[in-house]
């Protein structure tokens, strides 16, 4: 019975740790590798009429922040670095 309790306890700890690791890697700052920026920005900028400018700034922001918010527009709270990077004039730098 003691062996079964030990095995069950170990299993539960490993199971709980897998959720913690998965949650820490799911989105947010630092969730992308630099080579993933292109695809993330292609998707982010796919529905704008200013695609070239959007891609330029999105890729620049992604390279710095390693994060691109989900969707085509908005959702910047998912990536504080992306949201908070401003131009000299104080307007948002990242699309």
The pLDDT of residue 85 is above 80: yes
**What does the pLDDT read at residue 1?**
66
The stretch 35-55 carries a mean pLDDT of: 95
Give the pair of three-digit tokens for residue 79.
């990536």
Return the domain boundaries, the chain.
31-90
Res. 24 pLDDT band, cuts 50 70 90: very low
Q: For the ranges 8-12, 32-36, 55-59, which has the lowest average pLDDT?
A: 8-12
């Amino acid at each position: 019975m003691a062996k079964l309790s030990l095995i069950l306890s170990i299993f539960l700890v490993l199971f709980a740790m897998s959720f913690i690791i998965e949650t820490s890697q799911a989105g947010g700052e630092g969730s992308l590798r630099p080579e993933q920026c292109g695809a993330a920005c292609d998707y982010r900028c796919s529905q704008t009429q200013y695609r070239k400018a959007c891609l330029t700034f999105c890729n620049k922001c992604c390279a710095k922040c390693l994060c691109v918010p989900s969707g085509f527009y908005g959702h910047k709270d998912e990536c504080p670095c992306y949201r908070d990077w401003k131009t000299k004039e104080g307007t948002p730098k990242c699309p």
